[in-house]
Amino acid sequence: MTLNTLPWALPAFDAAIVDLDGTLVDTLGDFVEALQRMLGDLPSPYRDFAVDRVLVERLVGKGSENLIKSLLALVEYAPTAMNSGAIFDAAWASYQRHYPDVNGRYSSVYPGALQGLAQCQAAGLRLACVTNKPTAFAQALLADKGLAGFFLHTVGGDAVARKKPDPMPLLHACSLLGSSPARTLMVGDSSNDAQAARAAGCPVLLVSYGYNHGELIHAVDADAFVDTLADLSWQG
Ligand SMILES: O=C(O)COP(=O)(O)O
Ligand SMILES: [Mg+2]
């Protein structure tokens, strides 16, 4: 998509809310590694299951708890000595232990993401990162990738009572940023982001390269799509 096909220019907004996984940083490698280490701490058949990027791309997006539960459900047909509640508790504790060591080591900032953020900042937009990733993991990742300085606030999946696609984290971010939803652009990569934005009343732009639960992103109800965040422009 070229600059001119965007329905607005950045000065149409006072603020922007930007998603993290699949929008700013390709984190599939971090998830694969953390989940594989987690499974390695569990009994058979969990420890024998191989995780890959394609699988994680399909499962990621609704927070860590959902990711772990969905993965465990894929192997739960096999008999195990532990019940599924105990397996989840062990998996959760293991994932929390491993993720900080993995965070940022197997992931990379998408081409154009830094430029897009810089253009938003230059246009005077106040920026918040709203992600379903736990806040501590999100802050550490943003810092590791040199992106933390762009954001006034980071609202993680554990920051408010409900996660995207609920509008609650977006409305919370709008209030932290002091901006009205109608003048706050949501930038994301999945139907979670778009549904949350619609429900909050924020215009929504989706990137075409992220993770959308294994489904086509262009089928999602959004105001615009871009192939790179560098397409975000000060001029219309
Ligand atoms: O951790 C997740 O489930 C996805 O996080 P996101 O909201 O940054 O895409
Ligand atoms: Mg995302």
Residues at Cβ < 5 Å from ligand 2 ion: 19, 21-22, 189
Percent share of the chain, pLDDT over 70: 94
Q: Which residue has the tokens 């002091």?
A: 178
Pocket of ligand 1 (CB under 6 A): 19-22, 60-63, 67, 131-133, 164
Catalytic residues: 19
Q: Which of 2-11, 120-129, 221-230 has the lowest mean pLDDT?
A: 2-11
Within a 10 A sphere around the Cβ of 53, how many other Cβ atoms?
13
The two tokens of residue 92 are 């959760």
Residue 27 Cα to ligand 1 middle (Å): 9
- At 165 the pLDDT is 97
- pLDDT tens digits for range 132-175: 999 999 999 999 999 999 999 999 999 999 999 999 999 999 99
- Do 185 and 203 touch, CB atoms closer than 8 A? yes
Beta bridge partners of 17: 128, 186
DSSP state of 82: S
The pLDDT of residue 80 is above 60: no
Q: Which residue type sits at 181?
A: P
Assembly ipTM: 0.97
The C-alpha R_g of the chain, in whole angstroms, comes to: 18
Whole-structure pTM value: 0.94
**Per-residue pLDDT at 77:** 62
pLDDT band, very low/low/confident/very high, at 4 (cuts 50, 70, 90): very low
pLDDT confidence band for 2 (50 / 70 / 90): very low
Pocket test for ligand 1, best of 17, 18, 20 (most atoms within 8 A of CB): 20
Average pLDDT, the chain: 93
134, amino acid identity: P
- State the distance from the centre of ligand 1 to the C-alpha of 81, rounded, in angstroms: 32
Question: Do 182 and 170 form a contact (C-beta atoms < 8 A)?
Answer: no
pLDDT tens readout for residues 33-67: 999 999 999 999 999 999 999 999 999 999 999 99
Shortest-distance atom of ligand 1 to CA 193: 7
pLDDT at position 16 is: 98
Q: What number of other Cβ atoms are within 10 A of residue 50's Cβ? A: 8
Annotated binding-site ranges for Mg(2+): 19, 21, 189
Chain position carrying tokens 């215009």: 203
Q: Which atom of ligand 1 is nearest to the CA of 192?
A: 7
One DSSP character per residue, the chain reads --GGGSSS-GGG-SEEEE--BTTTEE-HHHHHHHHHHHHHTSPTTGGGPPP-HHHHHHH-SS-HHHHHHHHHHHHTTS--SS-HHHHHHHHHHHHHHHHHHHTTTT-EEPTTHHHHHHHHHHTT-EEEEE-SS-HHHHHHHHHHTT-GGG-SEEE-TTSSSS-TTSSHHHHHHHHHHT--GGGEEEEESSHHHHHHHHHHT--EEEESSS--TTS-GGGS--SEEESSGGG--S--
**Rounded Cα gap, residues 69 and 46, in angstroms:** 12
